[in-house]
Chains A and B, each alone.
Chain A
Amino acid sequence: MTALAALIRRDIRVALRIGGGALIGVLFFLTVVVLMPFAVGPDLALLKRLGPAILWLGALLASLLTLDRLFMADHDDGSLDLLVMSRTPLELACATKALAHWLVAGLPLIVATPVLGLLLNLDGSATLAVALTLLAGTPALTLTGMIGAALAVTLHRGGLLLAVLVLPLSIPVLIFGVAASNAATSGDTPFGTPFTILCALSLASLVIGPFAAAASLRHGLD
């Protein structure tokens, strides 16, 4: 437990200090959403209808943007070798790194959602629904993204490869996230069904993600 607590403390500290890039994701999210009303035009009804989808797309792209930091820095400075060699199971270390990453990169997106909802003419309950679906869905984005990050680091290709690997895995999350938010805003379809599936996706990726990432790291080191 001490080991995992130390790992989470270190990752959060590194991310929050200068050059750590914790705020890059949320700034990108802000940029995408702020630009959207200018691109779509001042049609309030249209913005309201598109709002949840825009917020979800922004959050998805923002989480992709920060994911390649997950293992790349540790690989470059040699820390990854020591993580692999340590007595702490690598699966647990991966899950811990994902948690730390979600806390500094995923949680700020959810906190920023109410502010951005105003720009998209979403009322209080709709904003709350989007924030709730992001809270349930972003862990899935981080955990499936971690598999891509582990593969990218062992293949020595960052950036674009990560996006290509991770996007197909995040499509179900996007579909059910937007479906649940729309259900909450329009009210003609039940909110529970897509939201439960979204939660299930997060739980399934919590089980699969750390194991897949650890396997990839173990076999790909050289």
Chain B
Amino acid sequence: MKRFVRWLSILALTVLAGALLLAISSLPPAPVKLAGEVAANLAVSGVSHPVTAVLLNFRGYDTFLEVAVLIIALLGMLAAGLPPPPPTGSRNAMLPTLARLAVPLMVLAAVYLLWAGAFRPGGAFQAAAVLAAAAVLLHLAEIQGPWPDNARGPRLAIAGGFLLFLAIAAALLVNGGLLRYPPEQAGLNIVLIESGLSVSLAVNLAAFFLLRAPKS
């Protein structure tokens, strides 16, 4: 029975893959040209990089909800119970020295990525990834200890950027829509949101490594 099911699923997936290949190879040209729409409205979006314009302005509402998804992912880990702390004492003596050298550069790189997002690839998510990596490095070098489950600081940092995003979304309702920036202030709003998110997302990502159950 189990073998039969396995062969049946393999067959079904092969048929699906074949159908997908066939369908994708015969796609007609898309009737809606979204790239053109983005280019036409880029001038009033507040930034000059089209990806940032889509993520933070045209479809900023998607990004808003995605930040909540990241918080929920962390909550899932908290709900299921935190993993125990890793064993200590076997570290390489080089690591702390290296971490002390690398982390300031990583922070600098993160600030650059955040700033560059307005006109070239970069932005809050990339900056946050670098910052989170810096925190993990400090943790591995045992310069930064684990965070307890109920630590207020990390929670405040994670919530802060999201609450700022939420406050801006709500305040802009006066213009008649969630996150509806006035064109002349769009750039300022985006910088504010992205700065907040860089910190929030960095702590959120780092928390997957640094939140650990207390040693028993």
Instruction: Say whether A associates with B.
Output: no
Using CB atoms and an 8 Å cutoff, list the residues of chain B in contact with chain A: none
Using CB atoms and an 8 Å cutoff, list the residues of chain A in contact with chain B: none
